[in-house]
Amino acid sequence: MKSLYLGERAEKGLIKLGTVIIPGDKDLPSFSQLEQLQEIDIMLKELPKDDREGLIILLSILSLLPKFIIKVLLLIIEKGATVNGPIGSPFRLLNMGLKGPVFTLYYSNNSEQNQEILNKLNYATQINMKEEDLMLQKVKNNELIENPNQEQIEEIFNNAKKNQKALRNIPLSSRVKQVQNLLITIRDNEELIIKKIQEDTKKSAGDALVSEFFGVLDYLHFLVDNAEKALKDEKIKTPIALLGKKSRVYYESLGTMLIISPWNYPFYQAIVPIATSYICGNITLYKPSEVTPLRGLIEDLLLKAGIDLDFIKVIYGDGKVGSQLIDQRPDKIFFTGSVNTGKKIMQQAAQYIIPVELELGGKDASIVFEDCNLKRAAKGVAWGALTNLGQSCTSVERIYVHSAVYEAFKTELLNEVRSLKQEISKDGDFGHMTSHMQTKIVAEHVKDALSKNAKLLTGNNWDYESDAIPPLVLEDISEEMLIYNEETFGPVLPLIKFTNEKEVIDDINASDLGLSASLWSKDKAKCDRVTRELNVGNVSVNNVMLTEGNPYLPFGGRKYSGIGTYKGISGIRSFAISKSVLIDADSSKIEVNWYPYTEKKYIGFSLMTKYAFTKGLLNFVKFALKGIGLESYSQKAKR
């Protein structure tokens, strides 16, 4: 039992008191055998402060008394409670205050054990939920779409087509409102969400809170504020040659959007693309990683927010299911994950010309110049390399340090890294690896580096097996090592010495990957120069992994790191499809560019073209006159 309100002593007192009141018998468990004693917090949270504190003191006192004394006290209290008038009042208060919590916890809590107790009392009640509420129940009972077979997958797509029409009837403003509801629902379910994320990922509570929970709310806030702006019909300039006509761009739903997400940020990578896709009016099919499915959580939150699950389907399964889904030809695929899987998805999508958006891996560098604040840079680099235990596509995986400050920076970094705490609780800096498969890759990279003369400066106690990988600072890194070239996706901090700017830029740009980079320097001109030279999608200057922190900034990689961007206004639009529209009025007018193409028209058009694309006021006047002449000729020209 771990109550947030009761101290150890009061907990002991409660169990003692409870066992006197409910000692258990052959059919029923005793109070001390209850599994959900911490549910007393539900009660204590709502009690007025004075009453709560009084109860805690009372229970603490009881913890010191032997059971038979408690029994005698209860008997006296019961007797006293029957005395009418003010004399009996304190006894009645005690009678209620002591029995109330015990009976409530025992005869009603939210556990399965409670059902067993009520069954023993022959007390069973039920309510048959309405059809539309049954899904909620299913979510609760975990009856989810799991490893669907071919037939079920076809049905999902058939239904998606039908539901596209229904979804089109929900206007954008209503979808925005629903996403706002989703934001509130998520905000109000912090405890549940963090717990679910931690169960599946083993990441620290802080990592789950900062990157996933806060990150999602921050993005949804942006989305709610900007979706209507991003998706409203756009007025487009019409050139003078098309005088009198109007041009527009409409942003429309794609149809059915398939989202496939990785295991490193299972909540963020679910909600962010799902909400964007839904707000754009797509039927959204979402396949989480089989490693971190967060079973039922997404459906639960969507339903609580009042979003119809016919429009958003969560489909659980492995890569094979993903491939079967692609074969049903969704209208677009949004994939986040490894380079290898990304290539396979693109290959499969190529058969059907399905557009893909790929957010793939990185081997991101952080450049520490000699003129920066070393302490800040060291703290920043440590966080960038270790947040989520390095399991981020934009984790710092190569640390370039100027030779002039190499030793000093190393000392700062080692101090920082050694001060950190690996613990899943709220008080821990980072947790454990989510996937043991990834632990093996980290082991392989580190062993390979050490065999090629790299030096391990921290984490010597790691056994290359445990998922609780400590931070691994390495030096003497060279180009032939795996850790230099390939994404490690773990808590590694390889230090690389450099002497000049050009060398480090060339080195970074030589990589096949081009996701993001960070740099640390006082010199603004240098920062700007290097930022422009780096062939990566995102750069944080004097900070790290922070472009993702601003939902207004588009995010995406270059080269093998991916195609396209999401987030930002352009990112919202990447979940929609644009339609270009040119509107003219109904009239009897015959356009200049229509038939017949007579010789006279040819000469006129040729001259007009020349005037149109030559600068100068006189030419503009000639162009206008020629245009008017051609217009009037076109009305009567005949073959």
Catalytic amino acids?
359, 393
Instruction: Please check whether residue 259 is in contact with residue 287, taking contact to mean a CB–CB distance below 8 angstroms.
Output: yes
Q: Can you read off the two tokens belonging to residue 537? A: 């999608």
**Percentages of the chain per state (helix, strand, coil), in multiples of 5:** 50, 15, 35
Minimum distance of another protein from residue 107's CB (angstroms) = 4
Minimum distance of another protein from residue 315's CB (angstroms) = 23
Q: Tell me the CA distances in angstroms from 4 to 7, 60, 64, 264, 298, one per residue in order.
A: 8, 15, 21, 30, 27
Binding-site member from 1, 5, 12, 47 for another protein (CB under 8 A) = 47
Binding-site member from 145, 303, 321, 608 for another protein (CB under 8 A) = 303
- By beta-carbon proximity to another protein, the closer residue of 71 and 344 is 71
Q: Can you read off the two tokens belonging to residue 510? A: 């030589």
Binding-site member from 58, 65, 74, 354 for another protein (CB under 8 A) = 74
Task: Report d(CA 225, CA 419) in Å as an integer.
Answer: 40
Binding-site member from 32, 38, 104, 113 for another protein (CB under 8 A) = 104
Pattern 2-21, another protein, x by CB under 8 A? ------------------xx
Q: Tell me the CA distances in angstroms from 486 to 83, 192, 390, 436, 510, one per residue in order.
A: 81, 36, 14, 18, 13
User: Does the protein bind another protein through residue 419 (CB under 8 A)?
Assistant: no
Minimum distance of another protein from residue 271's CB (angstroms) = 20
Binding-site member from 7, 8, 35, 42 for another protein (CB under 8 A) = 42
Task: Measure the CA dihedral 274/277/279/285, to 10°.
Answer: -60
Burial of 603: CB neighbours in 10 Å, binned 0-12, 13-18, 19+:
exposed
Minimum distance of another protein from residue 42's CB (angstroms) = 5
Pattern 128-167, another protein, x by CB under 8 A? xxx--x--x-------------------------------
Taking each helix axis from N to C terminus, what angle separates 297-304 and 131-140, rounded to the nearest 10 degrees? 140
Q: Can you read off the two tokens belonging to residue 393? A: 């596509």
User: Does the protein bind another protein through residue 112 (CB under 8 A)?
Assistant: no
Render the burial of 449-480: b for 16+ CB within 10 Å, e for the rest. Answer: beebebebbbbeebeeeeebbbbbbbbbbeee
Residues β-bridged to residue 9: none
User: Does the protein bind another protein through residue 122 (CB under 8 A)?
Assistant: yes
User: Does the protein bind another protein through residue 50 (CB under 8 A)?
Assistant: yes
- By beta-carbon proximity to another protein, the closer residue of 101 and 554 is 101
Minimum distance of another protein from residue 310's CB (angstroms) = 16
User: Does the protein bind another protein through residue 173 (CB under 8 A)?
Assistant: no
Q: Can you read off the two tokens belonging to residue 23? A: 């000692």
User: Does the protein bind another protein through residue 202 (CB under 8 A)?
Assistant: no
Binding-site member from 8, 35, 76, 120 for another protein (CB under 8 A) = 120
**DSSP state for residue 211 in the 8-state scheme:** I
Supply the Cα-derived Rg of the chain in whole angstroms.
33
| 76-95: contacts with another protein (CB under 8 A) | 78, 81-82, 84-86, 88-90, 92-93
Residues β-bridged to residue 367: 400, 519
Minimum distance of another protein from residue 174's CB (angstroms) = 14
Contact residues toward another protein (CB under 8 A) are 20-25, 27-28, 39, 42-48, 50-51, 71, 74, 78, 81-82, 84-86, 88-90, 92-93, 96, 99-100, 103-110, 114, 118, 120-123, 125-130, 133, 136, 303-304, 306
